[in-house]
Amino acid sequence: MSSLELYPPDEKLPRGEHVAFNLYMITALLLFVLMMLLGLTMRMTQAEWAPVQAAMFYKIMTMHGAGMVGTMSLASTAVMWFFLRKYVSLHLWAFVSNYVLFMLGALCIIWAVFVGGFASAWTFLYPLPVHSMGLWSNGAAAIFMIGYLLIGVGMLLFYLDAAAAIIRRFGNLGRGLGLQWLFRGEIDPNHPKAVVASTMVIIANTLGILAGAVVLVMCLVNAYDPEIALNALVVKNLIYWFGHMLINATIYMGVIAVYELLPRYTGKPYGISRPFLWSWAVSTVFVIIVFPHHLLMDYAEPRWMLVMGQIISYAAGFPVFLVTAYGVLTNIHRSGMRWKMPSMLAVLALFGWAVGIVPAIIDGTIRVNQVMHNTQWVPGHFHFYLLLGVLPMILTLLYHVVGSRRRAPVNSGVDRTGLFLYVVGGICFCMVFLYAGHLSVARRFAAHLPEWVPSDRAGSIAAMVLILGMLLFATRLIVGLLKAPADVDPAHRTG
């Protein structure tokens, strides 16, 4: 590719795109706040500060898990769309269809949980959805799964449109990923990082969504005809294959915002390189085959899969540490960085991702998993890279866009206060989970042993501080998004 054709020539959002983008992001911001409040309710219940019964606790837990994963997917899809549309020609109908199907799916899930009483956790491990001991009906389980299917179909539509657009522009997905330059040849410096990352996500998450569709249909069949029994281990493998890729894809979609925006604030080029292309190529494979690290305590799993789960967990750290995090650090080092909300959030995002995967990788060791699996160590590490990684990636783009509507980066004292509360609350919240995990405090318990309560109280307080920061962000951003676009790049303005 000798010259880069841009569609649109800059990042401006024409009328239809503007409305669609606002719908995605305002919905996501509202859902993030609501889901955080549900999470806080859970922590306060464990802290014995909220009188929530076990049945309601597990409904809230199911809603919080499904809601957060879904919202992360929704918002990070909008990040990918925002940048990918510059380099390939995407159809707005596919982007809008994803939103509509997401909303329909979300309504099904909300109905299943709060009306139907469905509380099988977001992972819906077979056969719990059809073995509720009378607390919910098979119909409620089916509605929940249909909700997932609708969301999956929407994402698939978007990915297929994006895949077709990349193939039209670059010839095939391999060339979008930059595989032609892995061993030889002069790398096109204009090859967009957004295309590389999007291609990886399309390949991996399409497989994951298809696996999810297969297992959902199997479970639906079983719900209506229990005589057709399923193999619990096969179902678990499919669920974690799907679930792992779905949530990992949010990071790989979100990081596009960092790649695209950070260099505008550092003023330093952030070029594409062979290590970068290698890291995305191997990450594509790793993210597809790493899922057995969720099944390390299933001793019936073939031994080679457990070994693969451990080794690939370690290997997956290499691209993150040595290419993405290291690349960001070298880009900001001695750059004369302009510290505005987007650039601060971008650095926070990479910090959260890189630091958060340390406990995750350690937990991928079989011997460690034997004492840490399903303790609060697990929410400790995934909250680290979701709360302090993916969400700041999304906020990076939002602050940038809102800045473009004000002709300057948003950087007020209120925003900086929000960031301070978010970072302090977020780090404390995650570290309390990890600390409790090392004390063997179980996850997903509606009521805790008396000796576990102090950490629950510390976690609750940290969550309140974090949510206060998020409320400030959400308010500022929603108001900002609703303003008319000015269509300038705020990174190149002073303010």
Partner 1 sequence: MILQNVIWAITLTGMGLVALGFIYAITQAGRPADAAEAARANRSSTTLRRGLFLALLLLSVGVTWASLRHFPIPLQHEPSQATQVVDVVGHQWTWDVSQTHLTAGEPVEFRVTASDVNHGFAIYAPDGRIVIQTQAMPGFTNKILYTFHTPGTYRIMCLEYCGVAHNGMTAELDVAAPGDKS
Q: Which is nearer to partner 1, 333 or 483 (CB)?
A: 333
Q: What number of residues does the chain have?
A: 495
At closest approach, how far in Å is the CB of 173 from partner 1?
27
At closest approach, how far in Å is the CB of 120 from partner 1?
8
Q: Which is nearer to partner 1, 4 or 54 (CB)?
A: 54
At closest approach, how far in Å is the CB of 5 from partner 1?
30
Reduced to 3 DSSP states, what percent helix, strand and coil does the chain have, rounded to the nearest 5? 75, 0, 25
Q: Which is nearer to partner 1, 168 or 333 (CB)?
A: 333
Q: Which is nearer to partner 1, 187 or 488 (CB)?
A: 187
Q: How far apart are CA 278 and CA 282, in angstroms?
A: 6
- By the 8 A CB rule, do 247 and 70 touch? no
At closest approach, how far in Å is the CB of 356 from partner 1?
8
Q: Count of CB atoms within 10 A of residue 2's CB?
A: 5
Q: How far apart are CA 306 and CA 291, in angstroms?
A: 10
At closest approach, how far in Å is the CB of 197 from partner 1?
20
At closest approach, how far in Å is the CB of 128 from partner 1?
5
Phi/psi of residue 400, nearest 5 degrees: -65, -45
Phi/psi of residue 375, nearest 5 degrees: -95, 180
Give the angle subtended at the CA of 128 by the CAs of 363 and 62, to the nearest 5°.
Answer: 65
To the nearest 10°, report the CA torsion of 463, 257, 195, 208.
10
- By the 8 A CB rule, do 129 and 144 touch? yes
Which residue, among 468, 456, 372, 368, has the nearest Cα to 46 in the 3D structure?
456
Q: Which residues contact 361 (CB under 8 A, 6 or more apart)?
A: 313, 314, 316, 317
With tokens 């695209």, the residue in question is 260
At closest approach, how far in Å is the CB of 488 from partner 1?
24
Task: Write the single-letter amino acid at 415.
Answer: D
Q: Which is nearer to partner 1, 83 or 291 (CB)?
A: 291
At closest approach, how far in Å is the CB of 442 from partner 1?
6
Q: Which is nearer to partner 1, 26 or 326 (CB)?
A: 326
At closest approach, how far in Å is the CB of 226 from partner 1?
12
Which residue, among 312, 372, 325, 370, has the nearest Cα to 352 in the 3D structure?
325
Q: How far apart are CA 435 and CA 167, in angstroms?
A: 47
Q: How far apart are CA 320 and CA 324, in angstroms?
A: 5
Q: Which is nearer to partner 1, 236 or 383 (CB)?
A: 236
Residue 431's Cβ-count burial label (10 Å; 0-12, 13-18, 19+) is: middle
Q: Which is nearer to partner 1, 236 or 264 (CB)?
A: 236
Q: Which is nearer to partner 1, 373 or 457 (CB)?
A: 373
